[in-house]
Structure 1
Amino acid sequence: MNETDAAAAGGTAGAPLALPVERSGPLDLPADFRRLREELPVAPLAFPDGPPGWLVTRYQDVRAGLADPRLSSRRPHLNSHVRAGLISAAEMAALRPSDLLTSDPPEHTRLRRLVARQFTARRMNRLTPRIQAVVDDHLDALAAGPRPADLIRAVALPVPSLVISELLGVPFSDRDLYYRLTRELLSLDRTRDQLLAGKAELKAYLLNLVDAERAAPTDDVLGGLVQAQAAGTPLTDDEIAALGQLILIAGHETTANVIGLAALLLLRPPRLWDTLVQRPDLVDGVIEETLRYATVLQFGLLRVAREPLTIAGQDIRPGDRVVLHLPSANRDPDRFTDADRFDPHRPDADRHLSFGHGPHHCLGEQLARIELRILLTTMLRRFPDLRLATDPGTIPAHDQRVVHGVAELPVDFS
């Protein structure tokens, strides 16, 4: 699709633009999204490889696109709108078969049903005492450790990592290994050889865990999937490993970054942290507003049109790639009043799209909310004078990572 084709197809003029990624700070979106929502809500988008596609930026269009069966999640590789296809479709299929992110019904329905059994609300609520114990242990270590402390390294990363490790059936003692591999797979500046090596190493690691579960079954997600397979459910070891990879990475990486961003939002001037110390009932509002305002899936979700459709008056043809930009949708002023302001009192913040919408709605949202609620509530009680130990303008962010967040967050307290 060239510029002439785009104009003829649906009236959109102009050369394809590069995806806006430059932020003025870790809590700001690239300024171009305001203009795009107003003037060109379905914009021609340049891809690092292959023909251009489309960038969708308004809330109503993104939400509709997430639920539209004409937009397929099946694609040869992830994040091709921000990273060239360094790995071929055949190599990707060998290293990681279709999973919940990259499949459509009925395959997606089959896989989701298997995992959903492990993420019921009842099971998540039963985890509450264990999550509280994990939080307490890490806050004890924070209180006893040297200061200033890096809140990311001390609390935000290890708490959800330990929780998802236990739930999934991955030894927490292996965290350095899967932290490293997660960085490899989510970073945009890795070479082809690094990506191939990282994918192969993580797959081999998870397949070893599947074999261990088969030899000595345990009551965790991997164990449940292995037992389902043994009972006759159509499920390969490669599929179990792929599901385990998704749960492991999403279960610790996204929640850890939400924790760091929430703390930064509350501790920066005007210190909303002090308000929450007096009003802990606002914690749920803070969680939803953080998820909306500081959406961690910073580059959006990629779909491929499998039949003709029209989005906001723009014709989309079969085979066109479409990026549904969640952070832009969550800052759409037509959906959220004064959308660029962080407001813990916002009554409709929970209408954000950070957990997706439609068939691919995130299965782990209940667990994430429980973890965030317990951690924030406990920190407010134990560290009422928590404060940033550096200028908020100097805090580094993950600019070259698929999941947005702050790389470190120095804090101090009395």
Structure 2
Amino acid sequence: MTIESIQGLPTQRPNPLDPPEDIAKLRTADSMVRMTFADGHDGWFATGHHAVRAILASPVFSNRVDLTHPVIPVERMTAMKDFPMPPGMFNRMDDPEHGRIRRMLTGQFTVRRMKLLEPRIEQIVDEHLGAIVASGPPVDLVPTYTLPVPSLVICELLGVPYDRRDQFQGDASTLLDLESGAEEAIGAWMSLRALLDDVIDAKRTKPTDDLLSGLIAEDELTQEELITVALVLLIAGHETTANMLALGTYTIMQQPGRAQALLADPVAAVEELLRYLSIIHLGPTRTALEDVEIDGHLIKAGQAVTMSVAGANRDPGKYANPDELDLARNAQGHMAFGHGIHQCLGQQLARIEMRIGFAALLRRLPSLRLAGEVRFRDHMTIYGVFNLPVTWDV
């Protein structure tokens, strides 16, 4: 089967736990295919594991905002195309600018610091589970567990007051909602900036033992850079883990025996859930700075390539029976946290939160099961669920 090109990114999911069907069809034909972007740009779509990994690892590809193109026709993306990139948005920079900020953050995201957070994460998890058990079934796990646990953890890591959670959770949701307009998105961005501006000013006067105070003490970032760095970490630090906890719990409840399999080896189970679910809904996208060949395809300078994380993680050339969830599988090499210089900074923290969060939930509530309809986040940049109604035997 030969597929020469596609019009736009496949996004329809007949099964909420599987990638769009067209992704598997495209990958079967080839690891890459030509794609017309929403603005008419003639670029590429990569679905194979080897191709995605090679592009993310290559210095030939840029992550700059000004070089990218919208993958789906979203009004907000078109309206905000010329919106200036804020100073400090390291996740959309190339080296050396990216490396300068990344090195500082790597110094804060140490293995030691993550290990020291483990007892506190266990305490946060136990407190929330205790409240859930005390309230009795049924319960929606999103507002009571899967969202507040990572939100509180990232607040403590950064030093953001948790009593501002309603503001930053609401603003983050607006920014990640593909159906929100440009004015709404800009308003949410400015609201988050104002919150973090206040937090950083307070820490300059009274520093505490947290990541933001550590960055301020290094005195290498401007106020604007600090605000943007904090904003990126705050959103990424709670939205991704929250949706993995919720969607992962939903997935485990779909089949008897999965809870026992997770409890038998939580470390392996978390990696397999990351591979299987691949919650990055759109992208990532990179743009070639010069002509380069990937998997036998010539990508010309200026052409953008959107990559399917789900396609790479379900590639049968990398994993046997990739569409099956095997919680004992060795899922090493998955692309859930990306690859290359932009690989997720907080991946170790996310792993710790999921390992503790899943295991504690399933031990405390062994009879956990669904108790209502679940709404999926089809129009969000981070896939997951909006709600997770559950019950259990009392």
Residue 37 of structure 2 corresponds to residue 47 of structure 1: yes
**Preserved contact between residue 23 and residue 30 of structure 1 (Cα < 8 Å):** yes
Q: Give the 5 Å matches for 1:318-337.
A: 318-337=301-320
Q: Give the TM-score normalised by the residue count of structure 2.
A: 0.95
- Say which of 206, 209, 212 aligns to 1:219: 209
- State the distance in 2 between where 1:179 and 1:146 align: 26
**Residue 381 of structure 1 corresponds to which residue in structure 2?**
363
- State the distance in 2 between where 1:22 and 1:259 align: 23
**Residue 6 of structure 1 corresponds to which residue in structure 2?**
none
**Preserved contact between residue 387 and residue 412 of structure 1 (Cα < 8 Å):** yes
Three-state SS of the structure 1 residue aligned to 2:230 is helix
**Deviation of the 1:78 alpha carbon:** 7.5
**Residue 315 of structure 1 corresponds to which residue in structure 2?**
298
RMSD (Å) for aligned C-alpha atoms: 1.7
**Deviation of the 1:166 alpha carbon:** 0.8
**Residue 404 of structure 1 corresponds to which residue in structure 2?**
383
Three-state SS of the structure 2 residue aligned to 1:54 is strand
- Say which of 395, 398, 401 aligns to 2:374: 395
**Residue 261 of structure 1 corresponds to which residue in structure 2?**
247
Seq. identity, %: 39
- State the distance in 1 between where 2:101 and 2:358 align: 33
**Preserved contact between residue 68 and residue 304 of structure 2 (Cα < 8 Å):** no
- Say which of 341, 358, 370 aligns to 2:340: 358
**Deviation of the 1:50 alpha carbon:** 4.6
**Residue 238 of structure 2 corresponds to which residue in structure 1?**
252
Three-state SS of the structure 2 residue aligned to 1:304 is strand
- State the distance in 2 between where 1:262 and 1:192 align: 31
Q: Which amino acid aligns with 2:131?
A: A
* Gap regions ≥5 residues in structure 1: 1-11
**Residue 195 of structure 1 corresponds to which residue in structure 2?**
185
State the Cα deviation string for residues 319-347 of structure 1 (Å, max 9, x = none): 11111211110000110000000001112
- Say which of 350, 355, 380 aligns to 1:368: 350
Q: Which amino acid aligns with 1:66?
A: L
Q: Which amino acid aligns with 1:255?
A: T
Q: Which amino acid aligns with 2:343?
A: H
Q: Which amino acid aligns with 1:36?
A: L
- State the distance in 1 between where 2:182 and 2:357 align: 38
Three-state SS of the structure 2 residue aligned to 1:323 is strand
Using the TM superposition, name which of 187-196 and 337-346 deviates more: 187-196
Q: 1:13 to 1:406 in 2, by over 3 A?
A: closer
**Preserved contact between residue 57 and residue 340 of structure 2 (Cα < 8 Å):** yes
Residue 55 of structure 2 corresponds to residue 69 of structure 1: no
**Deviation of the 1:159 alpha carbon:** 0.2
Residue 224 of structure 2 corresponds to residue 238 of structure 1: yes
- State the distance in 2 between where 1:198 and 1:51 align: 29
Three-state SS of the structure 1 residue aligned to 2:287 is strand
Using the TM superposition, name which of 355-364 and 374-383 deviates more: 374-383
**Preserved contact between residue 77 and residue 92 of structure 1 (Cα < 8 Å):** no
* Gap regions ≥5 residues in structure 2: none
**Preserved contact between residue 26 and residue 406 of structure 1 (Cα < 8 Å):** no
Using the TM superposition, name which of 142-151 and 168-177 deviates more: 142-151
- State the distance in 1 between where 2:113 and 2:5 align: 50
**Residue 169 of structure 2 corresponds to which residue in structure 1?**
179
Q: Which amino acid aligns with 1:161?
A: S
State the Cα deviation string for residues 304-328 of structure 1 (Å, max 9, x = none): 1111111222211111111121111
Q: Give the 5 Å matches for 1:330-349.
A: 330-347=313-330, 349=331
Three-state SS of the structure 2 residue aligned to 1:310 is strand
Three-state SS of the structure 2 residue aligned to 1:45 is strand
Q: Which amino acid aligns with 1:250?
A: A
Residue 154 of structure 2 corresponds to residue 164 of structure 1: yes
**Preserved contact between residue 16 and residue 52 of structure 1 (Cα < 8 Å):** no
- State the distance in 2 between where 1:147 and 1:286 align: 26
Q: 1:281 to 1:15 in 2, by over 3 A?
A: closer
**Deviation of the 1:77 alpha carbon:** 8.4
**Preserved contact between residue 299 and residue 402 of structure 1 (Cα < 8 Å):** yes
- Say which of 85, 109, 119 aligns to 1:119: 109
Q: Give the 5 Å matches for 1:299-310.
A: 299-310=282-293
- State the distance in 2 between where 1:78 and 1:199 align: 20
**Residue 290 of structure 1 corresponds to which residue in structure 2?**
273
Q: Which amino acid aligns with 2:123?
A: A
**Deviation of the 1:13 alpha carbon:** 7.0
**Deviation of the 1:15 alpha carbon:** 4.8
- State the distance in 2 between where 1:176 and 1:79 align: 32
**Preserved contact between residue 88 and residue 224 of structure 2 (Cα < 8 Å):** no
**Residue 92 of structure 1 corresponds to which residue in structure 2?**
84
**Preserved contact between residue 244 and residue 279 of structure 2 (Cα < 8 Å):** yes
Q: Which amino acid aligns with 1:296?
A: I
Q: Which amino acid aligns with 1:213?
A: K
- State the distance in 2 between where 1:382 and 1:77 align: 49
**Preserved contact between residue 63 and residue 287 of structure 2 (Cα < 8 Å):** yes
Number of corresponding residues: 389
- State the distance in 1 between where 2:28 and 2:216 align: 50
**Deviation of the 1:52 alpha carbon:** 2.9
Q: Give the TM-score normalised by the residue count of structure 1.
A: 0.90
**Preserved contact between residue 164 and residue 248 of structure 1 (Cα < 8 Å):** yes
**Preserved contact between residue 101 and residue 360 of structure 1 (Cα < 8 Å):** yes
- State the distance in 1 between where 2:347 and 2:87 align: 24
Three-state SS of the structure 2 residue aligned to 1:223 is helix
**Deviation of the 1:175 alpha carbon:** 0.7
